[in-house]
Amino acid sequence: MEDILINLSNCRSLDELEDIKIQALGKKGYITVEFSKLKDLSGEEKKDRASVLNNLKDKFNEEYNAKLKELKEDFIKNEAKKDAFNFTYFDQNSKSGAFHPVMITMDRIIDYFIRQNFSLEEGPLIEDDWHNFEALNLPKSHPARDMQDTFYFADKLLLRTQTSPVQIRTMKNQKPPIRMIAPGAVFRRDFDVTHTPMFHQIEMLVVEDGDKISFANLKYVLEEFLKYMFGDIKVRFRPSFFPFTEPSAEVDISCVFCGGCGCNVCKHTGFIEVMGCGMVHPNVFKDVGYKNVSGYAFGLGVERFAMLLHKIPDLRSLFEGDLRLLEQFK
């Protein structure tokens, strides 16, 4: 009978432990059978034998529980070892990720303006008609609304067609002076070789008290910025129209593909359009309750900048998620 206790102390696994328990306390187990034999004994003999068996059973249970605890702890330790992460392991064949060219371009532009103390502002992708259009001097009947094919929801909500509504939100929440940029996704119902239904813009706005700000300031700021982005290029301003600026201009840079000599990309003009800009329209200041201020703004398409910077010929390749494109930007 001492055998059961010896087996217990030699036991090495949870399965083995279970077997030993059955051998001792199961229906046909040693201790159970010995207890059942008590009925054949009598008097002192029965009492003595019962006491021996009870002691054995207690001792068995005590050692069994200790062993169970020990083996369970070993089991957990071994499982943990199996799953352990080897931090020194390096797989030569593993693939690493890369930032998307649109994000690389966006970060570069943001970085430029943040260094000059511009704040980074955000607005919702689902905008209301007032912020996206009306407050930007685009009343309901204004023909310029057709310039932007809009995704509408019910209840005067829409997917913002431009980052310009962030100008409105920022002016409503802050007082001049304001120097802000607002990067983000915008949406238009448009899909062809040069348009995708979602793309990214960066908006810039500067507002100062009084009439401190002029178009000459805007021109200087943009020329410096575009030279930082594209290097040694020519910058050209063309009169244009945006409802929220007056005067308005479109900005061209000399073609980065042909250096301005004329090619298919610039349609042999030597210049490529890169952004819209202008002096903030007085009606916009009126809508946000600003008096006696002046300011300028611009809006640019990040995909276009990315294509020009990295000489990517087809806009759609930026949205296909093809790893062969991304791998070139590691």
- If the CB atoms of residues 35 and 241 are measured against ligand DAH, the closer one turns out to be 241
**162 neighbors 127 (Cβ within 8 angstroms):** no
- For ligand DAH, the binding residues in 162-181 under the rule CB under 6 A are 162, 164
Q: Specify the amino acid at residue 175.
A: K
Show the 3-state SS of 51-96.
HHHHHHHHHHHHHHHHHHHHHHHHHHHHHHHHHCCCCCCCCCCCCC
# residues contacting ligand DAH (CB under 6 A): 11
297 binds ligand DAH (CB under 6 A): yes
Site for ligand DAH (CB under 6 A): which residue of 233, 299, 315, 318?
299
- For ligand DAH, the binding residues in 240-279 under the rule CB under 6 A are 242, 245, 276-278
Gyration radius of the chain's alpha carbons = 39
* Span near ligand DAH by CB under 6 A; candidates 40-48, 173-181, 258-266, 296-304: 296-304
Residue closest to 306 by CA, chosen among 297, 316, 291, 298 = 316
Find the shortest distance in angstroms from Cβ 277 to ligand DAH: 5
Place of tokens 């059961």: 4
- For ligand DAH, the binding residues in 189-208 under the rule CB under 6 A are 203
Cis peptide before 247 (omega within 30 of 0): yes
Find the shortest distance in angstroms from Cβ 123 to ligand DAH: 13
Find the shortest distance in angstroms from Cβ 82 to ligand DAH: 56
Nearest residue to the partner ligand DAH, using Cβ: 299
| DSSP 8-class letter at 195 | B
Query: Using CB under 6 A as the criterion, which residues of the chain lie in contact with ligand DAH when the complex forms?
Result: 162, 164, 203, 242, 245, 276-278, 297-299
